[in-house]
Amino acid sequence: MKLRCYLLAAALTLQAAAVSAYGEYSIGSAAAVSAPVAPFGDTLFILYGNLGGITVQKRAVLVAENIIRLKDDLLFYPDSLVVVNADEEHLVAYRGTVLVGLTAQQAAATGASCRELAQEYRDVIAAAVTAARAENTWLAVVKRLALALLVVAAAYFGIKYLNLSHRKLVVLLRRHKLRPVKSLRYLMDTNRQIAVGLVALRVVKYFLVVVVLYVCVLTLFRLFPTTRWLSDTLIGYITAPLKKIFSAVWDYLPNVFYIAIIVVLFRLIAKALQIIANKVGAGSLAIKGFQPDWAVPTYRILRVMVIVFALIFIFPFLPNSDSDIFKGVSVFVGLLLSLGSTSIISNIISGMVITYMNPFKKGDRIKMGEHVGDVVEKTALVTRLRTPKNELITIPNSIIMTAQTINYSNSAKDYGLILHAQVTMGYEVPWRRVHELLMEAGAKTQYVLQEPKPFVLQTALDDFYVRYQINIYTAEACKMLDIYSDLYANVQDVFHREGVEMVMPHIASVRDASKVSIPREYVRPGQEHTPPFRVTVEKK
């Protein structure tokens, strides 16, 4: 009778609290305010909604304390838990103590009837208390201690064999039984590779030791009920970030598919442009007004534009692309590029202009400022020349735009490059004779075109001599030095053969003027000596 009166009073109290809070409590809001009941670490059930001035969190704590007291009750039996119906509420009680009270609104939040929910909670509480009491028996304690010893022994032998394996690997590595990586020999020598390998082995060993100890501690804490919460906490340090990462990756998968589609689409566009550029460059596809030499540079420019547009389309799908930090970093990187790449952009634009101006191409012999050489490389930033002395000169494209450039190869190919050599002869040598000898010397020179024929110009009438210029045509601009050398040699041979002295009258050197200055092998009989001077003295 006393128990029934107590239960009835408790039910009336719960009902009054529910009625007083009914105006601000609803089924829709109950699900929004909830708290788990976990007296032994694991959640048994969840309470929904506040009752009067008691919050759902405080209710969950009170219910959990009542269940914990059952575990310490030596007279506890599962059948002692009963479900009592008090008007519209159902109560789960034990020997006159109400453990949890359930209202219709509480049951509606879970989608079950009030009595079904109370019976379910009664069974859950009975099973939890029985399991918790079973864990405190002497046999259970002995089993946990035995398992703890096994775990400690396993950790000890695990660390022991890890150290043993580490020492063996170190010995093998020091004795070169583990061959160094050949692909890294250009970055570091064998000794350096061994040192890096030893550091890597040490790091791996320490990492595995930490993993073994961590697992050992987790297992030991998990074995004993009083420290199980520490195990759950330590596991949470690992699982919580992993869950967060996995959830972020899972949520980001649609964006990955979008990015993949964009990349594939723009790669197909770039591949199509490459095929067209190859055909145009090879001459199999002709575009009116478009030179084949422009194909590869144009493809490179279009490829950069395709990559830029692809990045623009991909940008909104990047993780945290709309965050302020991402935007700030993007602005900072853009500012650095704009400040530090002024000269680079200038060279790139100059390279593009030079490409379409086409003043020279790879292999041409050109003169740029004071430098003469063959073009060996054209890039977006610089142009490289190799001089006849095999000197490699790198010239920025921005300088080429302002420098005067002479293309000898184009002139030689289109018109025939004119090379000339100057000779001075005294007035005593007939000019027609000089013309004949110079024409003969020019015709005998290697790499000289027979058509148009060489020609001679008289460029000056000086005080002591006449200036003659022999001009020859050639199509081999890259042989300029050889041609000049051969031309000078032929001029000397022809003039010496004909006995024409190439020394001018205003000689500054001291020599025996009674002998001619022609080489001995060209001197003919009777020409060994010059005519003597005749001095006439007139008397007044």
- Domain with residue 517: its CATH number is 3.30.70.100
Q: Are residues 11 and 110 in the same domain?
A: yes
How confident is the model at residue 486, as a pLDDT? 93
Q: Which of 35-39, 137-141, 295-299, 353-357 has the lowest mean pLDDT?
A: 137-141
Q: Rounded to two decimals, what is the model's pTM? A: 0.45
Last residue in a domain, options 110, 134, 158: 134
In the chain, % of residues over pLDDT 70: 77
Last residue in a domain, options 113, 134, 155: 134
How many domains, in total, are found in the chain? 4
Closest CA to 376 of 368, 367, 365: 365
Residue 38 has pLDDT above 90, yes or no: no
Q: Are residues 34 and 103 in the same domain?
A: yes
Q: Are residues 404 and 464 in the same domain?
A: no
Closest CA to 360 of 415, 420, 411, 398: 411
Q: Is residue 81 included in any domain, yes or no?
A: yes
Q: Are residues 382 and 493 in the same domain?
A: no
More confident residue, 31 or 293: 293
Residue 276 has pLDDT above 50, yes or no: yes
Let me know: does 76 contact 129? Beta carbons within 8 Å: yes
Residue 487 has pLDDT above 60, yes or no: yes
Q: Are residues 18 and 129 in the same domain?
A: yes
pLDDT tens, residue by residue, 196-227: 888 888 999 999 999 999 889 888 887 776 67
Question: How many Å apart are CA 398 and CA 350, to the nearest integer?
Answer: 5
Q: Are residues 382 and 429 in the same domain?
A: no
Burial tier of 242 (Cβ tally within 10 Å: 0-12, 13-18, 19+): exposed
Sign of CA dihedral 159, 160, 161, 162: positive
Q: Is residue 515 included in any domain, yes or no?
A: yes
Q: Are residues 380 and 429 in the same domain?
A: no
How confident is the model at residue 296, as a pLDDT? 77
Looking up tokens 């089924």 gives 27
Question: How many Å apart are CA 463 and CA 504, to the nearest integer?
Answer: 11
Residue 252 has pLDDT above 50, yes or no: yes
Q: Are residues 123 and 37 in the same domain?
A: yes
Residue 6 has pLDDT above 60, yes or no: no
Mean pLDDT in the chain? 78
How confident is the model at residue 8, as a pLDDT? 38
How confident is the model at residue 488, as a pLDDT? 93
Q: Is residue 510 included in any domain, yes or no?
A: yes
More confident residue, 492 or 358: 492
Question: How many Å apart are CA 441 and CA 54, to the nearest integer?
Answer: 120
- Written as one string, the DSSP assignment of 387-433 is -TT--EEEEEHHHHHHS-EEEHHHHHHHT-EEEEEEEEE-TTS-HHH
Q: Is residue 217 included in any domain, yes or no?
A: yes
> Strand, coil or helix: what is 386?
strand
Q: Is residue 540 included in any domain, yes or no?
A: no
Please report which confidence band the pLDDT of residue 14 belongs to, taking 50, 70 and 90 as the band edges.
very low
Q: Which of 48-57, 158-167, 326-335, 473-482 has the lowest mean pLDDT?
A: 326-335
Residue 331 has pLDDT above 90, yes or no: no
Question: How many Å apart are CA 184 and CA 177, to the nearest integer?
Answer: 17
Q: Residue 385 maps to which CATH number?
A: 2.30.30.60
- What's the DSSP call for residue 284? S
Please report which confidence band the pLDDT of residue 27 belongs to, taking 50, 70 and 90 as the band edges.
very low
Please report which confidence band the pLDDT of residue 433 belongs to, taking 50, 70 and 90 as the band edges.
very high
Please report which confidence band the pLDDT of residue 261 belongs to, taking 50, 70 and 90 as the band edges.
very high
SS3 for 424-493 is EECCCCCHHHHHHHHHHHHHCCCCCCCCCCCEEEEEEECCCCEEEEEEEEECCHHHHHHHHHHHHHHHHH
The rounded radius of gyration (Å) of the Cα atoms in the chain is: 51
How confident is the model at residue 470, as a pLDDT? 94
Please report which confidence band the pLDDT of residue 68 belongs to, taking 50, 70 and 90 as the band edges.
confident
- Summarize the confidence of residues 42-53 as an average pLDDT: 77
Sheet with strand 97-102: strands edge to edge: 81-86, 89-94, 97-102
- Summarize the confidence of residues 61-82 as an average pLDDT: 77
Q: How far is CA 175 from the centre of its chain?
A: 36
Question: How many Å apart are CA 281 and CA 468, to the nearest integer?
Answer: 47
Q: Is residue 268 included in any domain, yes or no?
A: no
- Summarize the confidence of residues 313-340 as an average pLDDT: 71
Question: How many Å apart are CA 367 and CA 275, to the nearest integer?
Answer: 35
- Summarize the confidence of residues 341-353 as an average pLDDT: 68
Residue 110 has pLDDT above 90, yes or no: no
In the chain, % of residues over pLDDT 90: 17
More confident residue, 97 or 25: 97
Tokens, residue 93 = 């009680």
Q: Which residues contact 400 (CB under 8 A, 6 or more apart)?
A: 350, 354, 368, 383
How confident is the model at residue 193, as a pLDDT? 74
Residue 158 has pLDDT above 70, yes or no: yes
Tokens, residue 105 = 């609104």
Q: Which of 17-31, 139-153, 252-266 has the lowest mean pLDDT?
A: 17-31
How confident is the model at residue 469, as a pLDDT? 95
Q: Are residues 194 and 78 in the same domain?
A: no
How confident is the model at residue 225, as a pLDDT? 66
How confident is the model at residue 7, as a pLDDT? 42
Q: Are residues 422 and 371 in the same domain?
A: no
- What's the DSSP call for residue 316? G
Please report which confidence band the pLDDT of residue 472 belongs to, taking 50, 70 and 90 as the band edges.
very high
How confident is the model at residue 436, as a pLDDT? 93
Residue 116 has pLDDT above 50, yes or no: yes
Q: Is residue 267 included in any domain, yes or no?
A: no
How confident is the model at residue 345, as a pLDDT? 67
State the residue range of the domain holding 373.
345-410
- Summarize the confidence of residues 84-96 as an average pLDDT: 77
Q: Are residues 46 and 126 in the same domain?
A: yes
Please report which confidence band the pLDDT of residue 514 belongs to, taking 50, 70 and 90 as the band edges.
low
pLDDT tens, residue by residue, 390-428: 888 888 888 887 778 888 888 888 888 999 999 998 888
Please report which confidence band the pLDDT of residue 529 belongs to, taking 50, 70 and 90 as the band edges.
low
Let me know: does 423 contact 433? Beta carbons within 8 Å: no
Please report which confidence band the pLDDT of residue 119 belongs to, taking 50, 70 and 90 as the band edges.
confident
Sheet with strand 455-461: strands edge to edge: 417-425, 466-474, 455-461
Q: Are residues 22 and 98 in the same domain?
A: yes
How confident is the model at residue 31, as a pLDDT? 42
Last residue in a domain, options 223, 249, 280: 223
Q: Which of 55-69, 78-92, 444-458 has the highest mean pLDDT?
A: 444-458
Q: Is residue 292 included in any domain, yes or no?
A: no
Question: How many Å apart are CA 532 and CA 503, to the nearest integer?
Answer: 18
How confident is the model at residue 455, as a pLDDT? 94
